[in-house]
Structure 1
């Protein structure tokens, strides 16, 4: 079965946005893609059908919090924190391994993604359209008013695409179950995956290592490589054994604190560092808001402390600010 997608729908215009210094390093830029408006409208229609199919057949694991109805980064962190604090209050230690895929969305092989769509029972016509949408894609890089020559895209799902997060979750749908079957707890938000286990003795560390090996083997088979230098282990509790975990023969670095979906988590499960950072951001935001109305300043404060975006407020309310 074949499907046709206009070639103009398959072109992305990428603008690199700096994340941090030094700006001479390409890895310190975030690519922001602009895609066809008409394509995005059609993507939303296909996304609705995919989501209905996923929910009706309970395909996505309950441990996957990314882009699921009623779930978010907050629910992902709360689920993990609930497990960790329960163990911590019982004076038990927990080892948490944060797994990081290398440019995950850009690496998804199209042929294997199409295979996965068939495995979960997506309608052949929908699969044909998605295949046509992914094949023959191009991108151009725009810096100021200068546009590069178009380059072909051989793999990956479009950055910034409406369908992309759902396609990635489908591609990794069996991974949380694979981890659970090893005997580990898992919590995922799209490509951010962490595995953990309460430790009674060193044999529990061996279970975690088996989980790491299972994920490493999955990543090899499905061509989604893991990042060695971004994969970390957080040891929670005072009596955690100094077990060294390995990812494909490379020792995983142990850390005392880590940034987890916007939250700063420490091995003592205190939020002092996180609160200090939020307070600093709030003061900086209030300082830049000097001369603005009290209402607007309150909204700016809520934005930094509670994550409320003032742009979501009704337009007539913003006019009063």
Structure 2
């Protein structure tokens, strides 16, 4: 990727040997080792996430993917020229394939999907032209 080795070493040092403590109502927990993820609030954390997953489009070619911080939004569009019901069936088939590819990619990337935070939105618009015949 062309990243200078001193930057790679700095990032590695920044991510390794991190600890955290939790404070609730004035009571502090013991120190906990943090083995995954980047520090919250850092501008480098989402950049590393997006860079790490830059190959995702190669594994999931059927959708446009958009990253924001550590979230992914995927867009699948209906095909022009199909009846609405056929579009729905086609989208359902392509969504199933997308989810299978995403799950496979998440296993390869050792980045499990948090299903409890996963959301799905479906939007459709059918256009009906008036029949010119009386």
Whether these two folds match at TM > 0.5 is: yes
Aligned to 2:74: 194
Q: Does 1:185 align with 2:64?
A: yes
Q: Which runs of 5+ in 2 are unaligned?
A: 127-134
Whether contact under 8 Å (1:197, 1:208) holds in the other structure is no
Q: 1:215 Cα shift?
A: 1.1
Q: Distance in 2 between matches of 1:209 and 1:197?
A: 14
1:166 aligned to which of 39, 47, 50: 47
Q: 1-side partners of 2:120 and 2:43: how far apart?
A: 32
**Counterpart residue number, 1:129:** 10
**TM-score, reference length from structure 2:** 0.71
The whole-number CA distance in structure 2 between the counterparts of 1:188 and 1:133 is 23
Deviations 1:233-284 (A, max 9, x none): 3332266xxxxxxxxxxxxxxxxxxxxxxxxxxxxxxxxxxxxxxxxxxxxx
Q: Which runs of 5+ in 1 are unaligned?
A: 1-119, 240-321
For the residue of structure 2 that corresponds to 1:203, the secondary structure is helix
Within a 5 Å distance, the mapping from 1:151-300 to structure 2 comes to: 151-176=32-57, 178-179=59-60, 181-182=61-62, 184-190=63-69, 191-199=71-79, 200=82, 201=86, 202-237=89-124
Mark the CA change 1:163 to 1:234 in structure 2 (over 3 Å): closer, same or farther.
closer
Higher helix share: 1
Q: Which has the higher strand share?
A: 1
Residues 59 and 105 in structure 2, CA contact (< 8 A), matched pair in contact too? no
Q: Deviations over 1:160-217 (max 9, x none)?
A: 22321211111222224543x23x2333323132332214333343223222211111
Instruction: Mark the CA change 1:232 to 1:150 in structure 2 (over 3 Å): closer, same or farther.
Output: closer
Aligned to 1:197, the other structure's residue is in SS state coil
- Per-residue CA deviation, residues 23-66 of structure 1 (Å, 9 max, x unaligned), is xxxxxxxxxxxxxxxxxxxxxxxxxxxxxxxxxxxxxxxxxxxx
Change (3 A) 1:203 1:155: same
CA RMSD of aligned residues (A): 2.3
Aligned residues, how many?
118
Q: Which residue of 2 aligns with 1:68?
A: none
8 Å CA contact retained: 2:46, 2:68:
no
Q: Does structure 2 retain, via aligned residues, the 8 Å contact 1:176–1:188?
A: no
